Chain A
Amino acid sequence: MITFIELLVNGISIGAVYALIALGFVVIFKATEVVNFAHASLLLVGGFIIAKTHEALGFWAALLLGLAGAAVLGALIEFLVIRRANVVNHSVLAIVTIGVDIVLTTELTRQIGTEVLALGDPWGSEVLHLGAINIPLARIAALLAASAVIAAFLLAFKYTNWGVAMRATAEDAETAALMGVRRGRVSMGAWAVAGALAALAALFMCIFPTPGLDRTVTATAMKAFPAAILGGLDSTTGALAGGLIIGVTESLVGGYQGELVFLGRGLGDVAPFLVMIIVLLIRPAGLFGTRELARV
């Protein structure tokens, strides 16, 4: 039972981090209808900046710099690539982001090499003891920070001018433009926000119990894709639910691997994808996604 609770809390904490990534992914999709496969590299950039600057600047300044760096990069991708690509088919735009991803990931993994970079976070490897239950402090920080950021984001999405503009654009881009919403600014803002969210997620992905930022981080970040898809690509609620489902599944399957060994080694890494496939079989638009209806 204790193991179960520990795994559950861990899973929720990881899930909150996945939700951060998935949220950025969904925001980009809503604002520009682009499935952003370069999201993992945005995350890598954020983590890389934090890792490289935290010794000189101190952790908090480095974190801000990482968030800003990833946000600027996201905005740049939107400004230089997505906005210029004049294509009808949105699958092609998705492939462009794959091109961007290949370039960024190759260069960054080359920079990182075989090193494991520490991010200099204040939580270290301390563990919180609640009775018999042991939970790393870093995971609790991840859970709290992710929840706070997600809540702030959702409130902003609902009540600020920026959020209203974004939702209006997602609903009907042309009408929104006629009402005076600047589409360019909205989509650039979406990419910037997604970049910052990804950078924050990078931080929490690379601190205890993971050893640090290394070249496999992008593969881990890939698990946020099923989170976004199984929740529904156009639903912020879906991103949260998807993130939590994926996080908890991964944590439980990984934790009980001993009992599940007949299914094969390394099941924790595939479990998110299996869950996604099962959900998609039943609900092709994801749990909370709007089913596409068309009037002819």
Chain B
Amino acid sequence: MSRSTLLWSIALAAAAVVIPFYLDASWLQDGLFAMAAAIGAIGLNLLTGATGQLSMGHAFFLAVGAFGYVYFASLPEEGAHSLGGLGLPTPVAAVLAVLLAGVAGGLFSPIAARLKGAYLGIATLALIFIGQFAMSNATPVTGGHNGRPVPPLEVFGFVFADTPDAPLVIAGVPFGALERLWFLGIVLLLGAGLFARGVLRGRPGRAMNTIRDHEIAAGVMGVPVARYRAGVFVLSSMYGGLAGVLIALVFQQTVPDYFGLLLALSYLAMIIIGGLGSVAGAVIGAVFVSMLPRLLTRYSDALPLIVQPGQEGVGAAEAAQILYGLAVVVVVLFLPGGLLGLVNQLRLRINRRVASAPAAKHSLTPTPETRN
């Protein structure tokens, strides 16, 4: 680890710890959604960015994770709309939900292993429609159209929820559900990111990139192509499941309609905008795409062309969608590496200016650092 990376990491970590003490709840909620999106996007980037397998069904696995958690953790409810549930301890439920998403991905692996690229993209489109169908029919699990409430996570007696009768106050700041979840989100994102980085940098990552770049060459060199494709698909679904669990915890209510095609498309937009095939790219893209609508809503009165809610014209949510659609096109046309590539280019340029002439001599041979 170079010194600048170390400094950056320390600065980011400090910012992450300090933020909940200063920002209000709505910003925290946005931040948490961005973290959940980042986890999901990392998973999709392993599949689409690093292995070249297009998936339009990522939202399905988020739904599996979210509803899996709710079902495992809730107690069954009798009544007019009877809801099922297993009432397991919540951490167990969360782990099981992630595993369930993995199993769902595994069930799809006969297709995920044999199809490639855009073919798989359309095949996974089926997952979205099947998911919507299943969610609207399995009302005892999903609660039907209105969804159902999510029980808060509780680890060793520590509840990730508002506790009015025993408030937790740290440094004069009341720690409610969002502040507590913030740290959970950071831990999860960090773990997810480090694991994915390990996968990408190690032997599996090389194999995945080779499959993406040249399938036959990969096979000739002894990479079991089909097994890898299925495996990455399962791994990416588990990331999707984890993102789903986190989203459910933040939302505190899961709604089937949320997990539609639009969500799946926004995840693809994230990894393209951020940068294909890397963890940092997925995180940057996720923050960009999930913060954009909220930023536009917040400053809608100050921005031209965007109207306030309820008026005739382009609303903030629509403007955000159009913007990230355009961003996808612009990034592919002009920034092949995504935003991450842009950052790296700028950094290289600055470094070159600082280091002046002698360093340039060595940059002729590509090193792993300059290539990525």
- Interface residues, chain A, CB within 8 Å of chain B? 35, 37, 81, 84-87, 89-96, 98-103, 106-107, 110, 219, 222, 225-226, 228-229, 233, 264-267, 269-270, 273-274, 276-277, 280-281, 284, 294, 296
- Total contacting residues, chain B, CB less than 8 A: 45
Q: Which 9 A-B pairs have the closest CB atoms?
A: A99-B328, A102-B325, A35-B118, A273-B126, A264-B137, A103-B325, A270-B133, A99-B329, A106-B321
Docked-complex contact A87 and B326, CB < 8 angstroms: no
Docked-complex contact A94 and B111, CB < 8 angstroms: no
Residues 158-184 of chain B: 1 if any A CB is under 8 Å from the residue's CB, otherwise 0?
000000000000000000000000000
Among B123, B212, B332, contact of A99 (Cβ-Cβ < 8 Å): B332
Given contacts A91-B53, A91-B121, A107-B318, 20 further A-B contacts (CB under 8 A): A35-B121, A87-B336, A92-B272, A98-B268, A99-B269, A99-B326, A99-B329, A102-B269, A102-B321, A106-B318, A106-B321, A106-B325, A110-B318, A270-B133, A273-B126, A276-B126, A277-B111, A280-B115, A281-B111, A294-B216
B282 to chain A, nearest CB (A): 14
Given known contacts A91-B118, A95-B332, A270-B133, A102 and B276 CB-to-CB distance under 8 angstroms: no
B265 interface contact, C-beta 8 A: yes
Q: Which residue of B lies closest to A284 (CB)?
A: B114
Contacts of B204 in A (CB 8 A): none
Pull 18 A–B residue pairs with CB atoms less than 8 Å apart, ordered by A: A35-B122, A81-B329, A89-B212, A90-B118, A91-B117, A100-B325, A102-B269, A102-B321, A102-B324, A102-B328, A103-B329, A110-B314, A219-B261, A222-B125, A273-B129, A281-B111, A284-B115, A284-B119
Query: 8 Å CB contacts to A: which residues of B212-237?
Result: 212, 216, 220
Docked-complex contact A226 and B110, CB < 8 angstroms: no
Residues 328-371 of chain B: 1 if any A CB is under 8 Å from the residue's CB, otherwise 0?
11001100100000000000000000000000000000000000
Docked-complex contact A98 and B123, CB < 8 angstroms: no
Contacts of A100 in B (CB 8 A): 325, 329
Docked-complex contact A101 and B119, CB < 8 angstroms: no
- Interface residues, chain B, CB within 8 Å of chain A? 48, 52-54, 110-111, 114-115, 117-119, 121-123, 125-126, 129-130, 133-134, 136-137, 212, 216, 220, 261, 265, 268-269, 272, 276, 314-315, 318, 321-322, 324-329, 332-333, 336
A87 to B265, CA, bound (A): 20
Given known contacts A95-B272, A98-B265, A270-B133, A277 and B333 CB-to-CB distance under 8 angstroms: no
Contacts of B126 in A (CB 8 A): 226, 270, 273-274, 276-277
Docked-complex contact A99 and B325, CB < 8 angstroms: yes
A75 to B272, CA, bound (A): 24
Q: Which residue of A lies closest to B217 (CB)?
A: A296
A96 to chain B, nearest CB (A): 5
Among A96, A266, A284, contact of B328 (Cβ-Cβ < 8 Å): A96
Contacts of B136 in A (CB 8 A): 265-266
A90 to B133, CA, bound (A): 31
Q: Which residue of B lies closest to A275 (CB)?
A: B126
Docked-complex contact B220 and A296, CB < 8 angstroms: yes
Docked-complex contact A229 and B122, CB < 8 angstroms: yes
A96 to B269, CA, bound (A): 9
Contacts of B276 in A (CB 8 A): 92
Contacts of B115 in A (CB 8 A): 280, 284
Docked-complex contact B119 and A233, CB < 8 angstroms: yes
Docked-complex contact A94 and B121, CB < 8 angstroms: yes
Docked-complex contact B125 and A273, CB < 8 angstroms: yes
Among B48, B133, B315, B332, contact of A85 (Cβ-Cβ < 8 Å): B332
Q: Which residue of B lies closest to A264 (CB)?
A: B137
**Residue of B136, B137, B261 most packed against chain A (CB within 10 A):** B137
Contacts of B129 in A (CB 8 A): 222, 269-270, 273
Contacts of B118 in A (CB 8 A): 35, 90-91, 94, 233
Docked-complex contact A95 and B325, CB < 8 angstroms: no
Docked-complex contact B110 and A281, CB < 8 angstroms: yes
Q: Which residue of B lies closest to A106 (CB)?
A: B321
Docked-complex contact A95 and B328, CB < 8 angstroms: yes
Docked-complex contact A101 and B332, CB < 8 angstroms: no
**Residue of B110, B121, B133, B265 most packed against chain A (CB within 10 A):** B133
A166 to chain B, nearest CB (A): 20
Docked-complex contact A270 and B130, CB < 8 angstroms: yes
A89 to B51, CA, bound (A): 11
Given known contacts A267-B133, A270-B129, A98 and B52 CB-to-CB distance under 8 angstroms: no
B321 to chain A, nearest CB (A): 4
Among A35, A92, A103, contact of B332 (Cβ-Cβ < 8 Å): A92
Q: Which residue of A lies closest to B117 (CB)?
A: A91
Contacts of A219 in B (CB 8 A): 261
Among B53, B133, B318, B321, contact of A266 (Cβ-Cβ < 8 Å): B133
**Residue of B52, B115, B136, B328 most packed against chain A (CB within 10 A):** B328
**Residue of B118, B121, B123, B212 most packed against chain A (CB within 10 A):** B118
A121 to B24, CA, bound (A): 55
Q: Which residue of B lies closest to A113 (CB)?
A: B312
Among B130, B326, B329, B332, contact of A273 (Cβ-Cβ < 8 Å): B130
Given known contacts A90-B118, A229-B119, A107 and B322 CB-to-CB distance under 8 angstroms: yes
Docked-complex contact A277 and B328, CB < 8 angstroms: no
